[in-house]
Structure 1
Amino acid sequence: MIEQIAVTRYVTPLREGGSLPGIVEASDLGTYVCKFRGAGQGLRVLVAEVIVGELARRIGLLTPRLVALELDPEIARYEADEEVQDLLRASVGLNLGVDFLPGSFGFDQDTQTAIGVAAKILWMDAFIANVDRSWRNPNLLVWHGDLWVIDHGASLYFHHAWSGGITDHERFARQPWDPDDHVLLAHREGLGSADEEISGLLDEQVFAEILGEVPDSWLEPVPGAEDAEAVRAAYVRFLTARLATRQWLPLEDGA
Protein backbone atom coordinates (compact mmCIF):
# COMPACT_ATOMS: atom_id res chain seq x y z
CA MET A 1 0.00 0.00 0.00
CA ILE A 2 1.08 3.60 -0.49
CA GLU A 3 2.80 4.98 2.60
CA GLN A 4 0.46 5.96 5.42
CA ILE A 5 1.21 9.08 7.48
CA ALA A 6 -0.77 11.34 9.80
CA VAL A 7 -2.09 14.84 9.14
CA THR A 8 -0.72 17.23 11.74
CA ARG A 9 -2.21 20.53 10.53
CA TYR A 10 -4.80 21.73 8.04
CA VAL A 11 -3.30 24.80 6.33
CA THR A 12 -5.68 26.20 3.71
CA PRO A 13 -8.35 25.14 1.24
CA LEU A 14 -7.78 25.07 -2.52
CA ARG A 15 -11.08 26.44 -3.77
CA GLU A 16 -10.94 24.93 -7.23
CA GLY A 17 -13.78 22.76 -8.47
CA GLY A 18 -16.31 21.14 -6.21
CA SER A 19 -14.18 18.80 -4.11
CA LEU A 20 -12.45 21.46 -1.96
CA PRO A 21 -9.02 19.84 -1.60
CA GLY A 22 -6.74 21.43 0.98
CA ILE A 23 -3.09 21.98 1.78
CA VAL A 24 -2.04 20.02 4.87
CA GLU A 25 1.13 19.32 6.81
CA ALA A 26 1.93 15.78 7.88
CA SER A 27 3.94 13.80 10.41
CA ASP A 28 6.81 13.23 7.93
CA LEU A 29 7.24 17.06 7.81
CA GLY A 30 5.93 17.04 4.25
CA THR A 31 3.29 19.30 2.73
CA TYR A 32 0.52 17.71 0.68
CA VAL A 33 -2.55 18.52 -1.32
CA CYS A 34 -5.17 16.45 0.51
CA LYS A 35 -8.06 15.00 -1.46
CA PHE A 36 -10.74 14.11 1.02
CA ARG A 37 -12.71 10.89 1.26
CA GLY A 38 -15.72 12.90 2.41
CA ALA A 39 -15.90 15.03 -0.75
CA GLY A 40 -18.88 14.60 -3.03
CA GLN A 41 -17.08 12.52 -5.66
CA GLY A 42 -16.54 9.64 -3.26
CA LEU A 43 -13.81 7.07 -2.69
CA ARG A 44 -13.57 5.87 -6.29
CA VAL A 45 -11.99 9.17 -7.30
CA LEU A 46 -9.18 8.46 -4.81
CA VAL A 47 -8.79 4.95 -6.23
CA ALA A 48 -8.49 6.37 -9.76
CA GLU A 49 -5.85 8.84 -8.57
CA VAL A 50 -3.68 6.05 -7.18
CA ILE A 51 -4.11 3.71 -10.15
CA VAL A 52 -3.34 6.36 -12.73
CA GLY A 53 -0.56 7.97 -10.70
CA GLU A 54 1.23 4.63 -10.36
CA LEU A 55 0.56 3.82 -14.02
CA ALA A 56 2.11 7.15 -15.02
CA ARG A 57 5.22 6.30 -13.02
CA ARG A 58 5.49 2.88 -14.67
CA ILE A 59 5.50 4.37 -18.17
CA GLY A 60 8.05 7.07 -17.37
CA LEU A 61 5.92 10.14 -16.69
CA LEU A 62 6.54 12.52 -13.80
CA THR A 63 3.75 12.70 -11.23
CA PRO A 64 3.81 13.76 -7.56
CA ARG A 65 4.35 11.17 -4.83
CA LEU A 66 1.13 9.84 -3.31
CA VAL A 67 0.51 8.94 0.33
CA ALA A 68 -2.45 7.90 2.46
CA LEU A 69 -3.17 10.65 4.98
CA GLU A 70 -4.73 9.61 8.30
CA LEU A 71 -7.03 12.40 9.45
CA ASP A 72 -7.85 12.62 13.16
CA PRO A 73 -11.23 14.17 14.12
CA GLU A 74 -9.40 16.62 16.40
CA ILE A 75 -8.06 18.46 13.31
CA ALA A 76 -11.57 19.76 12.55
CA ARG A 77 -11.87 21.46 15.95
CA TYR A 78 -9.36 24.14 14.98
CA GLU A 79 -10.94 25.07 11.62
CA ALA A 80 -13.15 28.18 11.70
CA ASP A 81 -14.69 27.76 8.22
CA GLU A 82 -17.86 25.69 8.70
CA GLU A 83 -17.75 24.22 5.18
CA VAL A 84 -14.19 23.02 5.70
CA GLN A 85 -14.98 21.80 9.21
CA ASP A 86 -17.86 19.68 7.86
CA LEU A 87 -15.58 18.23 5.18
CA LEU A 88 -12.89 17.36 7.73
CA ARG A 89 -15.42 15.64 9.98
CA ALA A 90 -16.72 13.63 7.03
CA SER A 91 -13.19 12.60 6.10
CA VAL A 92 -11.91 11.04 9.32
CA GLY A 93 -9.73 8.08 8.33
CA LEU A 94 -7.53 7.63 5.28
CA ASN A 95 -7.46 10.37 2.63
CA LEU A 96 -5.23 10.87 -0.40
CA GLY A 97 -2.15 13.07 -0.13
CA VAL A 98 -0.46 14.43 -3.26
CA ASP A 99 3.03 15.80 -2.71
CA PHE A 100 2.92 19.61 -2.94
CA LEU A 101 5.29 21.00 -5.60
CA PRO A 102 6.29 24.47 -4.33
CA GLY A 103 6.87 26.99 -7.08
CA SER A 104 5.25 24.90 -9.81
CA PHE A 105 3.04 26.62 -12.37
CA GLY A 106 0.31 25.55 -14.73
CA PHE A 107 0.87 24.41 -18.30
CA ASP A 108 -0.02 26.91 -21.01
CA GLN A 109 0.37 27.36 -24.75
CA ASP A 110 3.89 28.75 -24.36
CA THR A 111 5.18 25.68 -22.53
CA GLN A 112 7.72 23.71 -24.55
CA THR A 113 6.88 20.02 -24.51
CA ALA A 114 8.95 17.15 -25.87
CA ILE A 115 6.93 15.10 -28.34
CA GLY A 116 7.84 11.86 -26.58
CA VAL A 117 6.50 13.07 -23.23
CA ALA A 118 3.38 14.59 -24.79
CA ALA A 119 2.63 11.41 -26.74
CA LYS A 120 2.98 9.29 -23.58
CA ILE A 121 0.47 11.53 -21.81
CA LEU A 122 -1.93 11.22 -24.76
CA TRP A 123 -1.49 7.44 -24.75
CA MET A 124 -2.13 7.21 -21.02
CA ASP A 125 -5.22 9.43 -21.16
CA ALA A 126 -6.64 7.32 -23.99
CA PHE A 127 -5.95 4.12 -22.07
CA ILE A 128 -7.57 5.32 -18.84
CA ALA A 129 -10.38 7.20 -20.66
CA ASN A 130 -9.45 10.52 -19.05
CA VAL A 131 -11.94 13.26 -19.93
CA ASP A 132 -10.20 16.06 -18.03
CA ARG A 133 -7.05 17.35 -19.72
CA SER A 134 -8.26 20.16 -21.95
CA TRP A 135 -7.08 23.75 -22.34
CA ARG A 136 -9.82 24.71 -19.88
CA ASN A 137 -8.25 22.42 -17.29
CA PRO A 138 -4.90 20.95 -18.43
CA ASN A 139 -4.07 19.19 -15.13
CA LEU A 140 -0.38 19.59 -15.96
CA LEU A 141 2.24 21.38 -13.91
CA VAL A 142 5.70 22.61 -14.83
CA TRP A 143 8.22 22.17 -12.02
CA HIS A 144 11.97 22.74 -12.38
CA GLY A 145 11.49 22.76 -16.14
CA ASP A 146 9.78 19.35 -16.28
CA LEU A 147 6.17 18.48 -17.08
CA TRP A 148 4.20 16.72 -14.32
CA VAL A 149 0.81 15.05 -14.69
CA ILE A 150 -1.76 15.54 -11.91
CA ASP A 151 -5.46 15.10 -11.07
CA HIS A 152 -6.73 11.84 -12.56
CA GLY A 153 -9.95 11.40 -10.64
CA ALA A 154 -12.04 11.80 -13.82
CA SER A 155 -10.53 8.62 -15.29
CA LEU A 156 -11.71 4.99 -15.29
CA TYR A 157 -15.35 5.94 -15.68
CA PHE A 158 -16.45 2.30 -15.63
CA HIS A 159 -16.20 1.96 -11.84
CA HIS A 160 -18.95 4.52 -11.28
CA ALA A 161 -21.42 1.96 -12.66
CA TRP A 162 -20.36 -0.76 -10.23
CA SER A 163 -23.02 0.00 -7.63
CA GLY A 164 -25.29 -2.17 -9.75
CA GLY A 165 -22.65 -4.87 -10.11
CA ILE A 166 -19.41 -5.36 -12.03
CA THR A 167 -20.07 -4.32 -15.62
CA ASP A 168 -18.67 -5.91 -18.78
CA HIS A 169 -14.89 -5.41 -19.01
CA GLU A 170 -14.98 -6.16 -22.73
CA ARG A 171 -17.13 -3.10 -23.31
CA PHE A 172 -14.51 -0.88 -21.69
CA ALA A 173 -11.80 -2.67 -23.67
CA ARG A 174 -13.42 -1.62 -26.95
CA GLN A 175 -14.63 1.82 -25.93
CA PRO A 176 -13.04 4.53 -28.14
CA TRP A 177 -11.65 7.72 -26.65
CA ASP A 178 -12.25 11.17 -28.16
CA PRO A 179 -9.02 13.23 -28.25
CA ASP A 180 -10.46 16.35 -29.89
CA ASP A 181 -10.44 18.47 -26.73
CA HIS A 182 -7.07 17.29 -25.42
CA VAL A 183 -4.49 19.92 -24.55
CA LEU A 184 -1.68 17.93 -26.23
CA LEU A 185 -3.50 16.87 -29.37
CA ALA A 186 -0.89 18.62 -31.54
CA HIS A 187 1.54 15.82 -30.56
CA ARG A 188 -0.71 13.04 -31.81
CA GLU A 189 1.82 11.94 -34.43
CA GLY A 190 3.97 10.46 -31.68
CA LEU A 191 1.28 8.02 -30.48
CA GLY A 192 2.51 5.09 -32.58
CA SER A 193 6.01 5.26 -31.10
CA ALA A 194 4.62 5.77 -27.61
CA ASP A 195 2.42 2.72 -28.03
CA GLU A 196 5.38 0.56 -29.05
CA GLU A 197 7.39 1.69 -26.02
CA ILE A 198 4.65 1.53 -23.41
CA SER A 199 3.07 -1.75 -24.46
CA GLY A 200 6.13 -3.66 -23.32
CA LEU A 201 6.04 -2.05 -19.87
CA LEU A 202 2.53 -3.10 -18.85
CA ASP A 203 0.80 -6.42 -18.29
CA GLU A 204 -1.58 -8.12 -15.87
CA GLN A 205 1.12 -8.50 -13.22
CA VAL A 206 1.98 -4.80 -13.35
CA PHE A 207 -1.69 -3.89 -12.97
CA ALA A 208 -1.95 -6.22 -9.96
CA GLU A 209 1.07 -4.52 -8.36
CA ILE A 210 -0.48 -1.10 -8.97
CA LEU A 211 -3.78 -2.14 -7.39
CA GLY A 212 -1.79 -3.38 -4.41
CA GLU A 213 -0.99 0.27 -3.69
CA VAL A 214 -4.65 1.14 -3.07
CA PRO A 215 -5.79 1.03 0.60
CA ASP A 216 -8.38 -1.65 1.36
CA SER A 217 -10.71 0.89 2.95
CA TRP A 218 -11.16 2.72 -0.38
CA LEU A 219 -12.22 -0.41 -2.27
CA GLU A 220 -15.93 -0.48 -1.59
CA PRO A 221 -17.68 -3.86 -1.97
CA VAL A 222 -20.05 -4.11 -4.95
CA PRO A 223 -22.25 -6.91 -6.27
CA GLY A 224 -19.89 -9.49 -7.76
CA ALA A 225 -16.90 -8.24 -5.75
CA GLU A 226 -17.64 -8.47 -2.06
CA ASP A 227 -14.22 -7.70 -0.58
CA ALA A 228 -11.16 -5.57 -1.36
CA GLU A 229 -9.26 -8.35 -3.14
CA ALA A 230 -12.19 -9.08 -5.42
CA VAL A 231 -12.51 -5.38 -6.28
CA ARG A 232 -8.77 -5.25 -7.03
CA ALA A 233 -9.15 -8.25 -9.32
CA ALA A 234 -11.98 -6.49 -11.17
CA TYR A 235 -9.81 -3.43 -11.85
CA VAL A 236 -6.99 -5.67 -13.07
CA ARG A 237 -9.41 -7.49 -15.38
CA PHE A 238 -10.70 -4.24 -16.88
CA LEU A 239 -7.22 -2.78 -17.43
CA THR A 240 -5.81 -6.01 -18.87
CA ALA A 241 -8.72 -6.30 -21.30
CA ARG A 242 -8.22 -2.74 -22.54
CA LEU A 243 -4.48 -3.25 -23.01
CA ALA A 244 -5.24 -6.22 -25.28
CA THR A 245 -7.15 -3.98 -27.74
CA ARG A 246 -6.42 -0.79 -29.64
CA GLN A 247 -9.87 0.55 -30.52
CA TRP A 248 -9.34 3.21 -27.88
CA LEU A 249 -6.06 4.53 -29.29
CA PRO A 250 -6.67 7.54 -31.58
CA LEU A 251 -3.86 6.98 -34.07
CA GLU A 252 -3.73 9.23 -37.12
CA ASP A 253 -4.87 7.69 -40.39
CA GLY A 254 -2.09 5.53 -41.73
CA ALA A 255 -0.17 5.52 -38.44
Structure 2
Amino acid sequence: MNVSPPQLRTVNVTRYVTPLREGGSLPAIAEADDGFLYVIKFRGAGQGVKALIAELIGGEIARKIGFKIPEIVFANLDTAFGRTEPDEEIQDLLKASVGLNLALHYLSGAITFDRSVTVVEPMLASKIVWMDCLLTNVDRTPRNTNMLTWHRELWLIDHGAALYFHHSWYNWEEQAKRPFVQVKDHVLLPYATELEAVDPELKAIITPEVIRGIVGLIPDEWIATEWQETPDEVRDIYARFLETRIASSHIFLNEAQHARAALI
Protein backbone atom coordinates (compact mmCIF):
# COMPACT_ATOMS: atom_id res chain seq x y z
CA MET A 1 0.00 0.00 0.00
CA ASN A 2 1.39 3.37 -1.01
CA VAL A 3 1.29 6.05 1.66
CA SER A 4 1.28 9.68 0.58
CA PRO A 5 3.89 11.61 2.59
CA PRO A 6 2.55 14.54 4.63
CA GLN A 7 2.86 18.03 3.19
CA LEU A 8 3.45 21.16 5.25
CA ARG A 9 2.63 24.67 4.10
CA THR A 10 5.15 27.50 4.47
CA VAL A 11 3.98 30.89 5.70
CA ASN A 12 5.80 34.18 6.19
CA VAL A 13 5.58 35.81 9.60
CA THR A 14 4.23 39.35 9.29
CA ARG A 15 3.49 40.46 12.84
CA TYR A 16 4.78 39.50 16.27
CA VAL A 17 1.74 39.63 18.58
CA THR A 18 2.77 38.50 22.06
CA PRO A 19 5.26 36.18 23.76
CA LEU A 20 4.13 33.05 25.57
CA ARG A 21 6.52 33.03 28.48
CA GLU A 22 6.46 29.30 29.16
CA GLY A 23 9.70 27.60 30.13
CA GLY A 24 12.85 28.81 28.46
CA SER A 25 11.80 28.55 24.82
CA LEU A 26 9.84 31.81 24.54
CA PRO A 27 7.32 30.73 21.90
CA ALA A 28 5.08 33.51 20.65
CA ILE A 29 1.75 34.19 19.03
CA ALA A 30 2.34 35.76 15.63
CA GLU A 31 0.37 36.54 12.51
CA ALA A 32 1.37 35.19 9.09
CA ASP A 33 0.74 36.32 5.55
CA ASP A 34 -2.22 33.94 5.23
CA GLY A 35 -4.09 36.01 7.83
CA PHE A 36 -4.03 33.34 10.57
CA LEU A 37 -2.48 33.41 14.02
CA TYR A 38 0.13 30.81 14.95
CA VAL A 39 2.11 29.73 17.98
CA ILE A 40 5.68 29.95 16.69
CA LYS A 41 8.52 27.82 18.03
CA PHE A 42 11.81 29.59 17.29
CA ARG A 43 14.97 27.89 16.07
CA GLY A 44 17.01 30.42 18.05
CA ALA A 45 15.51 29.37 21.40
CA GLY A 46 17.26 27.30 24.07
CA GLN A 47 16.92 23.79 22.58
CA GLY A 48 17.44 25.03 19.02
CA VAL A 49 16.25 23.09 16.01
CA LYS A 50 16.11 19.78 17.90
CA ALA A 51 12.99 20.96 19.72
CA LEU A 52 11.48 21.92 16.35
CA ILE A 53 12.31 18.51 14.90
CA ALA A 54 10.70 16.78 17.89
CA GLU A 55 7.65 19.01 17.49
CA LEU A 56 7.43 18.19 13.80
CA ILE A 57 7.89 14.42 14.11
CA GLY A 58 5.78 14.06 17.25
CA GLY A 59 2.95 16.19 15.93
CA GLU A 60 2.74 14.46 12.57
CA ILE A 61 2.89 10.99 14.12
CA ALA A 62 0.06 12.02 16.43
CA ARG A 63 -1.93 13.28 13.45
CA LYS A 64 -1.36 10.03 11.57
CA ILE A 65 -2.68 8.04 14.52
CA GLY A 66 -5.82 10.17 14.40
CA PHE A 67 -5.40 12.58 17.29
CA LYS A 68 -6.48 16.18 16.91
CA ILE A 69 -3.38 18.34 16.36
CA PRO A 70 -3.28 22.00 15.29
CA GLU A 71 -1.99 22.39 11.75
CA ILE A 72 1.82 22.51 11.72
CA VAL A 73 3.49 24.85 9.22
CA PHE A 74 6.95 26.10 8.45
CA ALA A 75 7.17 29.77 9.41
CA ASN A 76 9.71 31.89 7.57
CA LEU A 77 11.24 34.80 9.48
CA ASP A 78 12.77 37.59 7.40
CA THR A 79 15.96 39.37 8.47
CA ALA A 80 14.03 42.63 8.82
CA PHE A 81 11.45 41.13 11.14
CA GLY A 82 11.58 42.24 14.76
CA ARG A 83 13.89 45.22 14.35
CA THR A 84 11.35 47.44 16.07
CA GLU A 85 10.76 45.00 18.94
CA PRO A 86 11.52 46.96 22.15
CA ASP A 87 12.25 43.90 24.32
CA GLU A 88 15.96 43.18 23.91
CA GLU A 89 15.62 39.49 24.82
CA ILE A 90 12.90 38.96 22.22
CA GLN A 91 14.81 40.95 19.61
CA ASP A 92 17.87 38.71 20.14
CA LEU A 93 15.66 35.64 19.81
CA LEU A 94 14.19 36.89 16.55
CA LYS A 95 17.61 37.72 15.12
CA ALA A 96 18.79 34.20 15.95
CA SER A 97 15.71 32.69 14.30
CA VAL A 98 15.94 34.13 10.80
CA GLY A 99 14.91 31.49 8.26
CA LEU A 100 12.58 28.54 8.72
CA ASN A 101 10.91 28.06 12.09
CA LEU A 102 7.95 25.89 13.08
CA ALA A 103 4.46 27.06 13.97
CA LEU A 104 1.15 25.56 15.06
CA HIS A 105 -2.24 27.05 14.26
CA TYR A 106 -3.40 29.05 17.28
CA LEU A 107 -6.54 27.59 18.87
CA SER A 108 -8.21 30.76 20.08
CA GLY A 109 -10.33 30.17 23.18
CA ALA A 110 -8.91 26.73 23.97
CA ILE A 111 -8.56 25.82 27.64
CA THR A 112 -5.98 23.63 29.35
CA PHE A 113 -7.04 20.03 29.82
CA ASP A 114 -8.12 19.23 33.38
CA ARG A 115 -8.49 15.53 34.14
CA SER A 116 -10.82 16.32 37.06
CA VAL A 117 -13.23 17.91 34.58
CA THR A 118 -12.72 16.08 31.29
CA VAL A 119 -13.06 12.30 31.17
CA VAL A 120 -10.77 10.54 28.68
CA GLU A 121 -12.03 7.09 27.74
CA PRO A 122 -9.59 4.19 28.20
CA MET A 123 -8.90 3.47 24.52
CA LEU A 124 -7.99 7.09 23.76
CA ALA A 125 -5.90 7.37 26.94
CA SER A 126 -4.07 4.16 26.05
CA LYS A 127 -3.26 5.38 22.53
CA ILE A 128 -1.85 8.66 23.85
CA VAL A 129 0.27 6.88 26.47
CA TRP A 130 1.52 4.40 23.84
CA MET A 131 2.51 7.22 21.50
CA ASP A 132 4.28 9.17 24.23
CA CYS A 133 6.23 6.04 25.19
CA LEU A 134 7.25 5.63 21.55
CA LEU A 135 8.34 9.26 21.32
CA THR A 136 9.84 9.32 24.84
CA ASN A 137 7.76 12.42 25.49
CA VAL A 138 8.50 13.52 29.06
CA ASP A 139 6.15 16.47 28.92
CA ARG A 140 2.59 15.26 29.44
CA THR A 141 2.29 15.30 33.22
CA PRO A 142 -0.44 16.54 35.59
CA ARG A 143 1.62 19.68 36.08
CA ASN A 144 1.95 20.33 32.35
CA THR A 145 -0.47 18.22 30.34
CA ASN A 146 0.18 19.75 26.89
CA MET A 147 -3.42 18.98 26.02
CA LEU A 148 -6.19 21.44 25.32
CA THR A 149 -9.96 21.30 25.20
CA TRP A 150 -11.26 23.17 22.18
CA HIS A 151 -14.84 23.00 20.94
CA ARG A 152 -15.39 20.16 23.43
CA GLU A 153 -12.69 18.02 21.86
CA LEU A 154 -9.25 16.98 23.12
CA TRP A 155 -6.28 18.42 21.24
CA LEU A 156 -2.62 17.48 21.70
CA ILE A 157 0.07 20.15 21.55
CA ASP A 158 3.78 20.72 22.22
CA HIS A 159 5.91 17.67 21.47
CA GLY A 160 9.17 19.63 21.59
CA ALA A 161 10.48 17.71 24.62
CA ALA A 162 10.11 14.34 22.87
CA LEU A 163 12.86 12.28 21.19
CA TYR A 164 15.42 13.30 23.77
CA PHE A 165 17.80 10.67 22.37
CA HIS A 166 18.92 13.29 19.86
CA HIS A 167 20.63 15.26 22.63
CA SER A 168 23.12 12.37 22.99
CA TRP A 169 23.04 11.31 19.39
CA TYR A 170 25.66 8.61 19.05
CA ASN A 171 24.11 5.84 21.17
CA TRP A 172 20.70 5.97 19.50
CA GLU A 173 20.52 2.18 19.01
CA GLU A 174 20.79 1.58 22.76
CA GLN A 175 18.30 4.33 23.57
CA ALA A 176 15.78 2.99 21.05
CA LYS A 177 15.37 -0.17 23.16
CA ARG A 178 15.20 1.45 26.57
CA PRO A 179 12.01 1.42 28.65
CA PHE A 180 10.37 4.80 29.12
CA VAL A 181 10.57 5.12 32.90
CA GLN A 182 9.07 8.62 32.90
CA VAL A 183 5.72 7.10 31.91
CA LYS A 184 5.02 6.84 35.65
CA ASP A 185 4.31 10.59 35.61
CA HIS A 186 2.00 10.55 32.57
CA VAL A 187 -1.26 12.37 33.25
CA LEU A 188 -3.35 9.70 31.47
CA LEU A 189 -1.61 6.59 32.76
CA PRO A 190 -4.33 5.80 35.36
CA TYR A 191 -6.89 5.53 32.53
CA ALA A 192 -4.69 3.62 30.06
CA THR A 193 -6.20 0.18 30.60
CA GLU A 194 -6.04 -0.91 26.94
CA LEU A 195 -2.33 -0.69 26.18
CA GLU A 196 -2.05 -4.28 25.00
CA ALA A 197 -5.07 -3.84 22.72
CA VAL A 198 -3.85 -0.66 21.04
CA ASP A 199 -0.29 -1.91 20.43
CA PRO A 200 -0.97 -3.94 17.25
CA GLU A 201 -3.41 -1.33 15.96
CA LEU A 202 -0.92 1.53 16.23
CA LYS A 203 2.00 -0.54 14.94
CA ALA A 204 -0.07 -1.19 11.82
CA ILE A 205 -0.57 2.57 11.37
CA ILE A 206 2.95 3.82 12.09
CA THR A 207 4.73 1.80 9.44
CA PRO A 208 8.30 2.35 8.23
CA GLU A 209 6.87 4.04 5.14
CA VAL A 210 4.87 6.45 7.30
CA ILE A 211 7.91 7.17 9.47
CA ARG A 212 10.14 7.83 6.47
CA GLY A 213 7.56 10.21 5.03
CA ILE A 214 7.40 12.22 8.24
CA VAL A 215 11.14 12.45 8.91
CA GLY A 216 11.55 13.43 5.27
CA LEU A 217 9.95 16.75 6.20
CA ILE A 218 12.95 17.84 8.30
CA PRO A 219 14.54 20.78 6.42
CA ASP A 220 18.16 20.51 5.33
CA GLU A 221 18.91 23.91 6.87
CA TRP A 222 17.91 22.72 10.35
CA ILE A 223 20.17 19.69 10.08
CA ALA A 224 23.12 21.75 8.88
CA THR A 225 23.15 23.76 12.12
CA GLU A 226 23.51 20.73 14.41
CA TRP A 227 25.11 17.74 12.69
CA GLN A 228 28.15 16.87 10.64
CA GLU A 229 26.31 14.05 8.89
CA THR A 230 24.44 14.69 5.68
CA PRO A 231 20.72 15.52 5.89
CA ASP A 232 19.81 12.10 4.50
CA GLU A 233 22.01 10.37 7.09
CA VAL A 234 20.40 12.32 9.94
CA ARG A 235 16.89 11.65 8.72
CA ASP A 236 17.78 7.96 8.39
CA ILE A 237 18.86 7.81 12.04
CA TYR A 238 15.59 9.38 13.20
CA ALA A 239 13.67 6.85 11.13
CA ARG A 240 15.70 3.88 12.34
CA PHE A 241 15.33 5.00 15.97
CA LEU A 242 11.54 5.05 15.64
CA GLU A 243 11.41 1.81 13.64
CA THR A 244 13.55 0.04 16.25
CA ARG A 245 11.45 1.41 19.08
CA ILE A 246 8.21 0.24 17.50
CA ALA A 247 9.68 -3.21 16.84
CA SER A 248 10.62 -3.34 20.54
CA SER A 249 7.34 -1.89 21.82
CA HIS A 250 6.96 -4.71 24.35
CA ILE A 251 9.77 -3.06 26.33
CA PHE A 252 8.00 0.26 26.83
CA LEU A 253 4.62 -1.46 27.19
CA ASN A 254 5.89 -3.58 30.09
CA GLU A 255 7.27 -0.47 31.79
CA ALA A 256 3.94 1.33 31.36
CA GLN A 257 1.99 -1.65 32.71
CA HIS A 258 4.25 -1.89 35.76
CA ALA A 259 4.01 1.86 36.40
CA ARG A 260 0.23 1.73 36.12
CA ALA A 261 0.01 -1.22 38.50
CA ALA A 262 2.01 0.76 41.05
CA LEU A 263 -0.62 3.50 40.94
CA ILE A 264 -3.51 1.18 41.77
- Greater shift, 71-80 or 11-20, is seen at 71-80
Q: Distance in 2 between matches of 1:132 and 1:251?
A: 16
The equivalent residue for 2:68 is 62
- Residue 112 of structure 1 and its aligned partner are, at CA, apart by 1.8
- Per the normalisation by structure 1, the TM-score is 0.93
2:32 to 23, 26, 33: 26
1:234 to 225, 230, 237: 237
The equivalent residue for 1:121 is 128
1:147 to 126, 146, 154: 154
Q: Distance in 1 between matches of 2:94 and 2:178?
A: 37
The equivalent residue for 1:9 is 15
* TM alignment of 1:19-168, pairs within 5 A: 19-108=25-114, 109-162=116-169, 166-168=170-172
- Residue 76 of structure 1 and its aligned partner are, at CA, apart by 1.1
Note the aligned Cα RMSD (angstroms): 1.5
Counterpart of 1:200 in 2: which secondary structure?
A: helix
- Greater shift, 210-219 or 20-29, is seen at 210-219
Letter in 1 for 2:54: A
Determine if contact 1:79/1:85 at 8 Å carries over to the other structure: yes
Q: Distance in 1 between matches of 2:26 and 2:154?
A: 24
- Per the normalisation by structure 2, the TM-score is 0.90
Determine if contact 2:184/2:256 at 8 Å carries over to the other structure: no
Counterpart of 1:15 in 2: which secondary structure?
A: coil
- Residue 228 of structure 1 and its aligned partner are, at CA, apart by 0.9
Counterpart of 1:96 in 2: which secondary structure?
A: strand
- Residue 227 of structure 1 and its aligned partner are, at CA, apart by 1.3
- Residue 196 of structure 1 and its aligned partner are, at CA, apart by 2.4
- Residue 25 of structure 1 and its aligned partner are, at CA, apart by 0.3
CA shift digits 1:147-171 (9 cap, x unpaired): 1111111111111112xxx3242x1
Determine if contact 1:192/1:251 at 8 Å carries over to the other structure: no
Gaps of 5+ in 2: 1-6
Whose helix proportion is higher, 1 or 2? Answer: 2
Gaps of 5+ in 1: none
Letter in 2 for 1:61: F
Q: Distance in 1 between matches of 2:92 and 2:176?
A: 39
Residues 22 and 168 of structure 1, relative CA distance in 2, 3 Å threshold? closer
* Structure 1 stretches of 4+ moved >6 Å: none
- Greater shift, 88-97 or 214-223, is seen at 214-223
CA shift digits 1:193-252 (9 cap, x unpaired): 2212111112211110011222221124635xx211111111111111111112012353
